[in-house]
Chain A
Amino acid sequence: MTAGILAFGAYIPRLRLQRQAIAAANSWFNPALKGLAKGERAICNWDEDAVTMAVEAARDCLTGIDRKSVRGLQFASTSFPFRDRLNAGIVAEALDIASHVAALDVTASQRAATSALLNALNGGGPTLLIASEKRRAKTASPYEMTNGDGAAAVLVGEGPAVARLVGSASRTADFVDHYRTDDQPFDYQWEERWIRDEGYMKLVPPVIAEALSRAGLQPGDITHFIMPGTLPRIAATIAKVAGLPEAGIRDNLQVALGETGVAHPLMLFGHTLESAKAGDRILVVGFGQGADAIILEVTPELAKLPARAGVSGHLARRKEEAAYNRYLAINDLVEIERGMRSEVDKQTPLSSLWRNRALLTSFLGGECTKCGTIQIPKSNICVNPNCNAMHTQVPHAFADKAGRINSFTADRLTYSPSPPACYGMVQFEGGGRMMLDFTDVDPEALEVGQPMRMMFRIKDHDTQRGFTRYFWKAAPAPTSAKES
């Protein structure tokens, strides 16, 4: 039995930087930016990175699936927050599946995700493949315009596949269209016309042809053609050369999202699945030091997949960001006066982080086996004043619980990279409560009783030691089925 795609999911940060705002700030220096100033791009909030987005995309992907069934986790990105600490391990702990999965980081090429997908399709237990990217770009560069932040995930394994592999091909070439080294924060790029003519046009069509041949298909059999890339008309040009139907070229989501790097092939794949029908054949290309071409055929199982936010849901969950200066500040692209309150030492004792990982990373609380009271944090003595039993609590998961605001404030005194800091008491359905930071909120719209859900986010940056610590925060629950 061959492996196929069992499920898919996505995450796109809520903030959408308006490209007009980028152009307005920078066209004095580079007037050509005006030509790119259409639509918006997704940008991370100050407390998001490739890891937090990966967790959310994975949760979306695993909607309705027993997490205990996952055996492997692969995490693809070129913007991992940690160079030597398993980023996939943080994600696995946050998903509370760490103890039974093998986890691996895949990196160093824009096609890391498609290559990892081929590996996963070639065997092994159910593997959760997540691609997540938050690429930095220099101020006033074209890439600041065309990049987008986001994550996508697929679950790969044997079983009722929503799409099954029918053919693939790969080619590796040390073609350096851009690169980034250990000690440099930004990419260095070569000329676009050369990348198009010598790169895409010479490397991609032969790989597509080989994949089609292995699948025993003609170009006209492809229903959807996914070709990430920001070069003008690159997908259409390749489709023409490869003989693919023009009508099947998928929107690269440049106007609404931006190019999400390693995540983009899977992002477009997820977006395609959201409207695909059984029998559709999807061709996904990954480009970067060579190319991967993967052909998948949609099965009737797709219609049975439980509803999820996916790409469209997250595209609908959006807040326009017109403040270019805030984007610069929360991405450390400008030295902003953060005030003395930001100077508090944020050291994370790693021994304590490990000891408390159930609470801090997996967000597990406790359930009293004597009186049934649900509580967080889990404690030695039950918090119910009519119980107070000792050592009776078993772990209880809070990450997917619905909650409501009991009290709140918007605080302009405490240090926050994006003030005001909003937080309050959140009471969970079924029991338990916690004073929690809020994220992705509109301060003026907060109210007692407001429905909230939990999201995995950056809690603090320890700038002195370069450590990022994560915790769970409360965000407004989706307001429409579309955002789910």
Chain B
Amino acid sequence: MASGIKDKVAILGMGCSKFGERWDKEADDLMVEAYEEALADAGIETKQINAAWLSTAIEDQHVGKSGVPLAIALRLPYIPVTRVENYCASGTEAFRGAVYAVASGAADIALAMGVEKLKDTGYGGLPQRSRGVLNSMSWANFSAPGSFAQLAAAYRAKHGTSPDELKRAMAQISVKSHDNGAKNPKAHLRNKINIDTVLGAPTVAEPLGLYDCCGVSDGAACAIVTTPEIAKSLGKHDIVSVKALQLSVSNGQEASHNSWDGSHFVTTRTASKRAYTEAGIDDPRKELSLIEVHDCFSITELVTMEDLFISKEGEAVKDVLDGFYNSDGGVPCQIDGGLKCFGHPIGASGLRMIYEVYLQMLGRAGPRQRQDEPHLGLTHNLGGFPHQNVCSISIIGRYGV
């Protein structure tokens, strides 16, 4: 097997804009907001960056195609700039590009920027857009919440979970994320809610209600990466490094072959196994200090706890209701509020998660800082639909752990 990425690349600096309805900002304003913070954190100048990756998923609603919008926004000095898109895993893909560039020796210092400006559509939720010529003629008329909502039906059927019990666990997931988001000044949604708020909300796609769905936000997040050696030479002592970067992409088997039951993510199970091997993790439930997962919908977060092998299959409901994933629980999940409350500017989301894990590792997360000293954190993105999707996993931790 390949030796993997573990400890080959360090994060030199990170930045993240405030997420939310940024009516007064363009995409380039958001990118610069994240970049200024990352640049100051890294302690370098723009001219030291050798290569850059830009992630956006719904670029036709804001910056348009190519790497040019990033190069212009940051006035990058004619370096290689690549735009990547891989559904909601786009942000992690930009990070992967930058990290691999450094690991290969092609770049000493590389930048990953994710941005999305989603609030120019005129309506709530993700934009309605073309899916490709043949897909538009043959795919069901599904929305994002409608495709993920089906996890609940299949999960109930498989585990014999009652609709009420599942709905309560899903509600607790959202309540927990609102509790956490309230402590985060950059979060889109900072209000606390209770279970009754969730259960009483209007239905979006059965059984998901309004509070089972994450916010759709404007925002940008940025990472600057280099080798641990260069980081040290630039005066960094507390080094946070990349332990694993994995991606798994559906090949049509879930959608067309009767081997999948619809209650879990084949991709997440595949990618997380590989990531644990790459990072040298044997027992994620014990070894991970915190996780940031793709909670686009509450039910996604619930099944993901099992797909990451942290909850046993069929036991996520119990772990959630026991508070195992609360900020003071065994493995805090969405300690920054998650997609649910920090917000979900698609191209930026993967980088936002890495940003949070990075802050936590350095003890810089302020009032939401994990109390037990963290060593390893995992981020997880899902793009697409449960029956065909892209899953990305990153594991970030203290150098040498």
Within the complex, the shortest CB–CB distance from B326 to chain A, in Å, comes to 28
A448 touches which of B122, B130, B153, B385 (Cβ 8 Å):
B153
Asked if B262 contacts A348 (CB within 8 A), the reply is no
**B140 and A349 contacting across the interface, CB-CB below 8 Å:** no
What residue in chain A is nearest B124 (Cβ atoms)? A413
- The residues in A between 395 and 453 inclusive whose CB is less than 8 angstroms from any CB of B are 406-416, 420-421, 423-425, 427, 431-437, 443, 448-449
**What 1/0 flags go to B134-159 for Cβ under 8 Å of A?**
10111111110111011101101100
Interface residue range, chain B: 35 or more
Question: B2 near A: Cβ within 8 Å?
Answer: no
Q: Are A424 and B123 in contact (CB under 8 A)?
A: no
Verify A379–B252 contact, CB threshold 8 A: yes
Interface residues of B in 107-138 (CB under 8 A from A): 121-123, 125, 128-130, 133-134, 136-138
B257 contacts A by Cβ under 8 Å? yes
Taking the closest CB of chain B, its distance from the CB of A359, in whole angstroms, is: 6
With A341-B128, A409-B149 in contact, do A377 and B256 touch (Cβ < 8 Å)? Answer: yes
Cα(A222)–Cα(B44), bound, Å: 100
Minimum CB distance partner of A459 in chain B: B137
Q: Which of A206-238 contact B (CB under 8 A)?
A: none
Given A407-B153, A414-B146, are A360 and B206 also a contact pair (CB < 8 Å)?
no
- CB <8 Å contact, A409 and B205: yes
Whole-angstrom CA separation of A407 from B146 in the bound complex: 11
B261 interface residue per 8 A CB criterion: yes
Residues of B within 8 Å of A348, CB to CB, are 137
CA A385 – CA B252 in complex, angstroms? Answer: 10
At the interface, yes or no: B234 with Cβ under 8 Å from chain A? Answer: no
Residues of A within 8 A of B129 (CB): 344
**B204 x A413 contact (CB < 8 A):** yes
**What residues of chain B lie closer than 8 Å to A423, measured between beta carbons?**
140-142, 146
Query: Which of A359, A414, A420, A435 has a CB less than 8 Å from the CB of B387?
Result: A435
Q: A340-B123, A414-B146, A448-B156 are in contact. Are A433 and B255 (CB under 8 A)?
A: yes
User: Closest residue to A409 on the B side, CB-wise?
Assistant: B149
Q: Tell me the complex Cα distance, A383–B121, Å.
A: 37
User: Is A172 in the interface zone, CB < 8 Å from B?
Assistant: no
Partner of A431, one of B130, B258, B263: B258
Query: With an 8 A cutoff between CB atoms, is A373 at the interface?
Result: yes
A436 to B146, CA, bound (A): 12
Chain A contacts for B142, CB-based, 8 A: 411, 414, 421, 423, 435
Given A352-B133, A424-B150, A344 contacting B128 (CB threshold 8 A): yes
A427 near B252: Cβ-Cβ < 8 Å: no
Please report which residues of chain B, range 270-299, place their CB below 8 angstroms from some CB of chain A when the two chains form the complex.
none
Say yes or no: is A471 at the interface (Cβ < 8 Å to chain B). yes
Across the two chains, which residue of chain A brings its CB closest to B136? A346
- Asked if residues B253 and A349 are in contact (CB atoms below 8 Å), the reply is no
Q: How far is the CA of A423 from the CA of B150 in the complex (A)?
A: 9
**Contact status B140-A408, CB under 8 Å:** no
B138 and A437 contacting across the interface, CB-CB below 8 Å: no
Interface: B194 (CB within 8 A): no
B203 at the interface (CB under 8 A from A): yes
Asked if residues A406 and B145 are in contact (CB atoms below 8 Å), the reply is: no
- B3 contacts which chain A residues (CB < 8 A)? none
Q: Considering the complex, give the chain B residue whose CB is closest to the CB of A345.
A: B130
Is A376 close to B, CB under 8 A? yes
Contact B134 A409 (CB under 8 A): no
A383 B252 Cβ-Cβ under 8 A: yes
Evaluate whether A412 and B137 lie within 8 angstroms (CB atoms) in the complex, with A345-B130, A433-B258 already known. no
User: What is the bound-complex CA distance between A443 and B128, given in angstroms?
Assistant: 23
Kindly list chain B residues whose C-beta atoms are within 8 Å of the C-beta of A414.
128, 141-143, 146, 205
| A435 contacts B140, C-beta separation under 8 Å | yes
Once the chains bind, are A412 and B123 in contact (CB under 8 Å)? no
Among the listed B122, B123, B202, B253, which residue makes an inter-chain contact with A383, where contact means beta carbons less than 8 Å apart? B253
Contacts of A415 in B (CB 8 A): 128, 141
Residues in B with CB closer than 8 Å to A334 are none
The reply to whether B256 and A376 form a contact with Cβ atoms under 8 Å apart is yes
B137 touches A471 (CB 8 A): yes
Q: Is the CB of A410 within 8 A of B133?
A: no
Residue of B nearest to A474 (CB): B140
Give Cα distance in the complex from A435 to B145, angstroms: 15
- In the complex, what's the smallest C-beta–C-beta distance from B208 to chain A, in angstroms? 8
User: How far apart are A469's CB and chain B's nearest CB, in angstroms?
Assistant: 6
Cα A348 to Cα B261 with chains together (Å): 33
Q: Which residues of B contact A (CB under 8 A)?
A: 121-123, 125, 128-130, 133-134, 136-143, 145-147, 149-151, 153-154, 156-157, 202-206, 208, 252-253, 255-259, 261-263, 385, 387
Would you give 22 A-B contacts (Cβ < 8 Å), ordered by A? A340-B123, A349-B133, A352-B134, A353-B137, A356-B137, A375-B256, A406-B154, A409-B205, A411-B149, A411-B205, A412-B203, A412-B205, A413-B146, A413-B205, A414-B141, A423-B142, A423-B146, A427-B258, A435-B140, A435-B142, A436-B140, A471-B138
Known: A414-B141, A424-B153. 18 other contacts (CB 8 A): A340-B123, A353-B137, A356-B137, A360-B137, A377-B138, A407-B150, A407-B151, A411-B141, A413-B125, A414-B142, A421-B141, A423-B141, A434-B255, A435-B139, A435-B385, A448-B157, A449-B157, A471-B138
Going nearest first, the 6 A-B pairs with the smallest beta carbon separation are: A411-B146, A407-B150, A414-B143, A448-B157, A409-B149, A423-B140
